[in-house]
Structure 1
Amino acid sequence: MPLKVHLIILNVVKTEIKDDDYIYHMKQIPLFISLLLLSAVSFAQKKPNIVIIVSDDHAFQTISAYGSKLMQTPNIDRIAKEGMRFNKAYVTNSICGPSRAVILTGKYSHKNGFKDNDHSRFDGNQDTFVKHLQSGGYQTAWIGKWHLGSNPEGFNYWQILPDQGNYYNPDFLMMDGSKKKTEGYVSNLIEDAAEEWMEKRDPSKPFCLVIGHKATHRTWIPDTTDMGRFEKVNFPMPANFYDAYQNREAAKVQDMTVDKAMLMDYDLKMLSYGKQVDGAIKRMNPEQRAKFDAYYQPIEADLKARKLEGKALVEWKYQRYMKDYLSTAASLDRNIGRTLDYLDQHQLKENTIVIYLSDQGFYMGEHGWFDKRFMYEESFRTPMMMRYPGKIRPGSKSEDFVMNLDIAPTMLDAAGLAVPKEIQGKSFMPLLKGNPKAKGREAMYYHYYENTVHSVSPHFGVRTKRYKLIRFYERVNTWELYDLQKDPNEENNLFGKKGYDLITKELKGVLKAQILKYDDQEAAKLMESAGS
């Protein structure tokens, strides 16, 4: 029974008190009020709390829960051990802002209006799952990286990084319009703010908190405590690091290789090699900068003494990239552990959903690349795990296709709220309960739009359990087809090859059906113009 109904009953009880019963009733009312208020709190807390942790550019290949040997991620692994690990979680558009817009709206980029980071601004007036939670009695908050251009709407509280934010001593945009500079490392500060909000929230109401981490976004500047963590490790290079991109025109024209696109000064902190310096370095206080210099300057001096060239220099750059990236991920994992500890220590664990995911995947040298964007697996696929005590059996693993598109309807479903028909995602709550009749997607649709940074050609496509069909346009106009069973690294483009006519025709039919299902009119016109 909602609290407002209890208050109405109290008023009725008061009006029915007779003068000769006055003393008796006055003794009983305090107990009656206490019981009603406890009942109201109990009712509200039957709805699960929700904590969604969204990292940035965190590769599933670097998470030990997914079998990575590169580093240990005990706190992210803990969510998987105590809940479910999704082995086939994907995104609809592999880039930062668009991914967050999809999570919020449960709609593809062409429907929510945020297609790329260059030209899009999120329309906060549109429907989001948090607005429905809010109207359904939830307290809502977003803390950390937002990166959607406009101020958050549908949240009782927000505290966000402007644009990409800085790793050191970042500014936060506050709800009152002010800008607050805070001393410290960004992952720690975001967690501090999240815990502070949870401390101050109304404990009689359920809550939904989104924690948006900046890590592990470029330029991968570790916390001072993590600098040198992997210094003695020599990381194995991916087998296709020196990919020649045969029969893959879009891969040939990209500009995201460790060799040519990774900058010595900006990315790898070899500051004397150029003039591009990450703003976070300039924001460091003297103590932070002293630790930074003490770590990176000897590395730079050694590099100059060695006078590396050609492949030797490229492979040195790869090792530096891996050390910085994984050291930055260490702080991310540690602060996720702090979130879990807070929930456990405040008796919130049993009634709180925790989801961890990245806004997309990331390349750790596969094909010679860093960054994301492509529909190839390392970028398209995202890490995701979910803890929901009483609903998910600990240690569960899902092999069903799920997408970031599905988070909005799943959270509404878990909260017992109606899912608006405009939402394009599908609740995966039935999958969590181990129902053998529950099915994930048979196919997944993808559409990437941005045609500037890293020179990745816009493209759309479909993935089934075995195959992937991609249509590139604008920068290049080509098709690609992969048999993921025989070619999991997507190096052999089968499109147009003898013997693949029937599967190509079948997949084009699946692609057209997905385009129609999600009403992607731009893709439909491109299919029509290509005579497909």
Structure 2
Amino acid sequence: MKHLLAVLLLLSNAILFAQKPMNVIFILADDHRYDAMGFTGKFPGLKTPNLDRMALQGCHVEKACVATALCSPSRASILTGQYPHKHTVVDNQAPIPPGLVFFPQLLQKKGYNTAFLGKWHMGDADDQPQPGFDYWLSFKGQGVYYNPTFNINGQQVPHKDSAYISDLLTDYAVDWIKAQPAKKPFFLYLSHKGVHALFEPAKRHKGMYKNLRFTPPPSMFMTARDTSKYLELKNSRISPELKPFVENQRDQPNWVYDQRHSWHGVDYMYHGYISFYEFYQQYLETLMAVDESVGRVLDYVSSSALANNTMVIYMGDNGFSFGEHGLIDKRHAYEESMRVPMLMYAPKLVPAGSKLTQVIQNIDLAPTILEMAGLKTPTYMQGKSFLPLLKGEKIAWKDRAFYEYFWEYDFPQTPTMFALRTDRYKYIYNHGVWGINELYDLQNDPHEMNNLIRSTAHQEVASQMRTDIFNWLEQTGGLQIPLRPMTSDHKRGDHKYKNTY
């Protein structure tokens, strides 16, 4: 009987939804990896009560992936519903091409009030208002954690007295939501700086995880050239029971070995700026203010009439590595980089405690939000609405996620790569380097440690997935890599070929 009542309730609300466009609050975190939430249990001791609450009262999209694990391309894919090679914002400096349409522009035509608050970081390092938003609040480049200056609708507004950016953005966001007229739908995009490196937690959170133990991932030591690094780590705060895992070392790509001792590797991370343990601790502490921001938004929505017709979405723009394969940061196609957290909260539409196990990508977000507004997916989008899945409907759905990353001048260790992820396998094609490609059985090898690319039993799988990648690129116009002339703006001061043109 209870099950029947629940079904009837969802049906009645679906009818209501069909008659009135939903409000949508989209919260984006920076560099938040898919499993760094308390309820996953993957980070022992981590507490994220508000993200846990979203999962408990809403839906956890378990296999959310990005099309590129890098800020600007991912954000452009979210806003356009397109793969990076289609919208061409392929790195953090690529300009926004003329005529590119962001889905909030379509919402405006539908009668929505729209607002953007936070980190834009797409196309250039400016903070100027962008198309699709009636209200604009942003800052230049990556911004700062303390005492930021915001561009609010074209005016520079400084904040002082140890003002913390996550708190300020949430203040402005909640105030904007409160000011919205009841008869007009709205879309709010709250884009946090947290948890982007270099990490600076709010003062109230500093030191809260100083005694948290770090359990290194099994793949952390596979790329070590010798055992000296393991012995050094073993004698530190790392759990002593872990032993170096060296299975199949010969089939790890050379670029992964080389990157281990670099800006994005565990042996010389950020060129010695910070120790691994401080890095890990500060990341989790910086995440706390983002979690509190989510809680404040949920508190207001759930305690007001908005609960009847509002969807709150939480997502990361890309993942982040903590030692997997000897790497930190993102960019690569391994799980901790490619996957992101995604939570959906809509009490009158999404069943509490539900999960989506299908592969969902960031390109699917724009079509989904457009369908919430009663709009069809434009033909130029490669993404597809997963709103029917959220509502519990049985529909045909893709079983794969495509991934691409284009070599960057600033970080030359990571090559251009293309990848295909299904529920079972992942194939990574490392382009433009003299090395090996990769095939992993995600069911039996979730840490992606045993490269099956030479396995006789897996040659058919590898060949088919490679073919699928190049068919995808051909069918979506991705066979020509978008190249741009390099300027001095793309150079890093620490690059070993500084001032060489």
Shorter-chain TM-score bucket reads: 0.7 to 0.9
Q: Given the superposition, is the C-alpha separation of residues 477 and 237 from structure 1 closer, same or farther in structure 2, using an over 3 Å criterion?
A: closer
The CA distance in 1 between the partners of 2:268 and 2:303, in whole Å, is 48
Q: C-alpha offsets along residues 352-376 of structure 1, whole Å, 9 cap, x if unaligned?
A: 1111000011112222322001111
Greater Cα shift, 44-53 or 346-355? 44-53
- Consecutive unaligned residues of structure 2, counting only runs of 5 or more, are 1-15, 224-248, 483-501
Instruction: Identify the residue that residue 225 of structure 1 maps to in structure 2.
Output: 204
Q: Secondary structure at 2:182's aligned position in 1?
A: coil
The CA distance in 2 between the partners of 1:332 and 1:124, in whole Å, is 33
User: Any residues of structure 2 matched to 1:9-408 within 5 Å, and which?
Assistant: 46-68=20-42, 69-117=44-92, 119-123=93-97, 125-148=99-122, 149=124, 151=128, 152-176=130-154, 178-183=155-160, 184-244=163-223, 246-247=250-251, 248-254=253-259, 255=262, 256-265=264-273, 268=274, 317-408=275-366
Q: Secondary structure at 1:521's aligned position in 2?
A: coil
Q: C-alpha offsets along residues 461-480 of structure 1, whole Å, 9 cap, x if unaligned?
A: 21122111111123555421
User: Residue 385 of structure 2 aligns to which amino acid in structure 1?
Assistant: S
The CA distance in 1 between the partners of 2:434 and 2:363, in whole Å, is 28
Q: CA deviation at 1:506?
A: 1.8
The CA distance in 1 between the partners of 2:390 and 2:281, in whole Å, is 36
Q: CA deviation at 1:508?
A: 2.2
The CA distance in 2 between the partners of 1:146 and 1:385, in whole Å, is 21
Q: Secondary structure at 1:104's aligned position in 2?
A: helix
The CA distance in 2 between the partners of 1:70 and 1:521, in whole Å, is 45
Q: CA deviation at 1:439?
A: 3.2
Instruction: Identify the residue that residue 408 of structure 2 maps to in structure 1.
Output: 451
Greater Cα shift, 136-145 or 64-73? 64-73
Q: Secondary structure at 2:348's aligned position in 1?
A: coil
Give the helix-richer structure, 1 or 2. 1
Contact 1:141–1:158, Cα closer than 8 Å, also in 2? yes
Q: Secondary structure at 2:51's aligned position in 1?
A: helix
Contact 2:312–2:345, Cα closer than 8 Å, also in 1? yes
Q: C-alpha offsets along residues 237-271 of structure 1, whole Å, 9 cap, x if unaligned?
A: 22222222542223123231122123554xx3xxx
Q: Secondary structure at 2:305's aligned position in 1?
A: coil
Q: CA deviation at 1:123?
A: 3.7
User: Residue 115 of structure 1 aligns to which amino acid in structure 2?
Assistant: V
Greater Cα shift, 166-175 or 452-461? 452-461
Q: CA deviation at 1:518?
A: 2.4
Contact 1:479–1:495, Cα closer than 8 Å, also in 2? yes
Contact 1:457–1:476, Cα closer than 8 Å, also in 2? no
User: Residue 80 of structure 1 aligns to which amino acid in structure 2?
Assistant: A
User: Residue 180 of structure 1 aligns to which amino acid in structure 2?
Assistant: V
Q: Secondary structure at 2:26's aligned position in 1?
A: strand
Does residue 520 (structure 1) correspond to residue 471 (structure 2)? The answer is no
Question: TM (normalized to structure 2)?
Answer: 0.82
Q: Given the superposition, is the C-alpha separation of residues 252 and 71 from structure 1 closer, same or farther in structure 2, using an over 3 Å criterion?
A: same
User: Sequence identity, in percent?
Assistant: 36
Instruction: Identify the residue that residue 304 of structure 1 maps to in structure 2.
Output: none
The CA distance in 2 between the partners of 1:368 and 1:509, in whole Å, is 29
User: Residue 383 of structure 1 aligns to which amino acid in structure 2?
Assistant: P
Q: C-alpha offsets along residues 363-420 of structure 1, whole Å, 9 cap, x if unaligned?
A: 1222232200111100001110111222211100111010000000001111111221
- Consecutive unaligned residues of structure 1, counting only runs of 5 or more, are 1-41, 269-316, 525-532
Q: Secondary structure at 2:269's aligned position in 1?
A: coil
User: Residue 156 of structure 2 aligns to which amino acid in structure 1?
Assistant: K
Instruction: Identify the residue that residue 18 of structure 1 maps to in structure 2.
Output: none
The CA distance in 2 between the partners of 1:370 and 1:509, in whole Å, is 30
Q: C-alpha offsets along residues 188-221 of structure 1, whole Å, 9 cap, x if unaligned?
A: 0110111222233333211000000000000111
Q: Given the superposition, is the C-alpha separation of residues 239 and 504 from structure 1 closer, same or farther in structure 2, using an over 3 Å criterion?
A: closer
Q: Secondary structure at 2:85's aligned position in 1?
A: helix
The CA distance in 2 between the partners of 1:70 and 1:447, in whole Å, is 34
The CA distance in 2 between the partners of 1:51 and 1:246, in whole Å, is 47
User: Any residues of structure 2 matched to 1:499-518 within 5 Å, and which?
Assistant: 499-518=457-476
Q: CA deviation at 1:125?
A: 3.5
User: Residue 186 of structure 2 aligns to which amino acid in structure 1?
Assistant: F
The CA distance in 1 between the partners of 2:18 and 2:34, in whole Å, is 36
Contact 2:218–2:447, Cα closer than 8 Å, also in 1? no
Q: Given the superposition, is the C-alpha separation of residues 43 and 426 from structure 1 closer, same or farther in structure 2, using an over 3 Å criterion?
A: closer
Q: CA deviation at 1:44?
A: 12
User: Residue 112 of structure 2 aligns to which amino acid in structure 1?
Assistant: Y
Contact 2:307–2:348, Cα closer than 8 Å, also in 1? no
Contact 1:44–1:204, Cα closer than 8 Å, also in 2? no
Q: Given the superposition, is the C-alpha separation of residues 522 and 461 from structure 1 closer, same or farther in structure 2, using an over 3 Å criterion?
A: farther
The CA distance in 2 between the partners of 1:453 and 1:236, in whole Å, is 31
Q: Given the superposition, is the C-alpha separation of residues 460 and 43 from structure 1 closer, same or farther in structure 2, using an over 3 Å criterion?
A: closer
